[in-house]
Homo-oligomer: A and B are copies of this chain.
């Protein structure tokens, strides 16, 4: 199988590595940045560095467009023009509607979006196993040629991902809610806190873990996120307006002062989060454990090491140090009740106070 990869960053590089290793494909890479292309070749993410986009597409059964969201429309158009009749052209952008509006009637184009790698970037971080177990959305239209769809879907599965068809509009709306919206809220929360601090002459009070967690992604990866916000602007704007309306309702609820209604709203959020997060877990519902520890260097290590020895994997973790870092709480999340029981036993043997966290 011959594969073309246009854009050899983290995603393109990882597609190359996985396609070479798992599909025994011959991978031709192209990138407008010759240094990046050279580096991808050194890292063996591609078999050969094409001197042009057309050369990378020539004879390929699948061409992956793996460039930033903003340049994908142009890149996809060039790839379709440069490739032959039997070539499937697909992409990896996190926003799909615009692309499908432009190329949805092209039988050889198929939109795609692997949910992987968002936390890092660069061909240096490319890995053959980047897509293992990851959802890879595909957005076929009635015009998409069946044979080519089948070919891309199989290839994506062999790269390690779990392909799923979805229409572009639904995809963009869902992503707007669970991925793009949290980034907007983080940004807005920072702005609001800055305004509050500027207004008061007091210095900022110590910021607790809730503010830290809620703003962790504020302003992250500027070029990628500017593209995403721009590319999915209608769906994100609609989500933002929906959230603004919900907030107005909450303000009204609080002003009303009905303790029972406030308690009901708050408890519903805990329940809702649990349901949403459990949906994605294979190993059983997420179980939270809270461990009270002295915060000396190494204590997190001891705990993780002991759990690791017993084969208990930590799915998620939150550290809540006391202000002076002398002690604190660690929340650990493991999948399934059995894992949780084992973890509690091990942690108690280490002499730690452990309690269950209902979340």
Interface residues of A (CB under 8 A from B): 70, 115-116, 118-120, 124-125, 127, 129-130, 132-135, 137, 160, 166, 170, 173-175, 177-179, 181-197, 200, 202-220, 222-223, 225-226, 229-230, 233-234, 236-248, 250-252, 254-255, 257, 259, 262-263, 265-273, 275-277, 279-280, 290, 292, 295-309, 311-329, 353, 359
Contact = CB atoms under 8 A, between A and B. Distances in A.
A343 to B, nearest CB: 11
B196 A177 contact: yes
Contact of A317 (B166, B196, B259, B317): B317
Contacts of A241: 247-248, 251
Contact of A229 (B214, B234, B266): B266
A118 B315 contact: no
A72 B273 CA distance: 31
A230 B262 contact: yes
Copies in the complex: 2
Given A190-B273, A219-B270, 12 more contacts: A115-B205, A119-B290, A133-B323, A178-B196, A187-B265, A193-B276, A219-B269, A220-B359, A230-B259, A244-B248, A244-B251, A300-B301
B324 A133 contact: yes
B130 A271 contact: no
A270 B196 CA distance: 17
B213 A119 contact: no
A179 B178 CA distance: 22
Nearest to A320: B119
B314 A300 contact: yes
Contact of A269 (B160, B187, B202, B263): B187
A268 B200 contact: no
User: Which of A188, A241, A290 gathers the greatest number of chain B CB atoms within 10 Å?
Assistant: A188
Given A236-B254, A251-B241, A222 B301 contact: no
A339 B133 CA distance: 36
Contacts of A324: 129, 132-134, 160
A274 to B, nearest CB: 9
Chain A contact residues: helix, strand, loop or mixed? helix
Contact of A222 (B202, B267, B325): B267
Given A319-B316, A323-B115, A270 B207 contact: no
Contact of A303 (B212, B214, B301, B327): B301
A174 B217 CA distance: 22
A298 B327 CA distance: 22
A115 B210 CA distance: 13
Highest count of chain B CB atoms <10 Å: which of A196, A233, A238, A248: A196
A311 to B, nearest CB: 6
Given A187-B266, A205-B174, A241-B247, A298 B308 contact: yes
B234 A272 contact: no
A330 B319 CA distance: 13
23 contacts: A115-B323, A119-B290, A137-B205, A173-B196, A179-B208, A185-B185, A185-B189, A188-B250, A190-B272, A204-B279, A207-B279, A214-B216, A219-B269, A219-B271, A219-B272, A230-B254, A230-B257, A237-B254, A240-B248, A240-B250, A297-B312, A305-B305, A317-B319
Contacts of A296: 308
A209 B173 CA distance: 18
A226 B325 contact: no
Q: Which of A173, A207, A236 has the most CB of B within 10 A?
A: A207
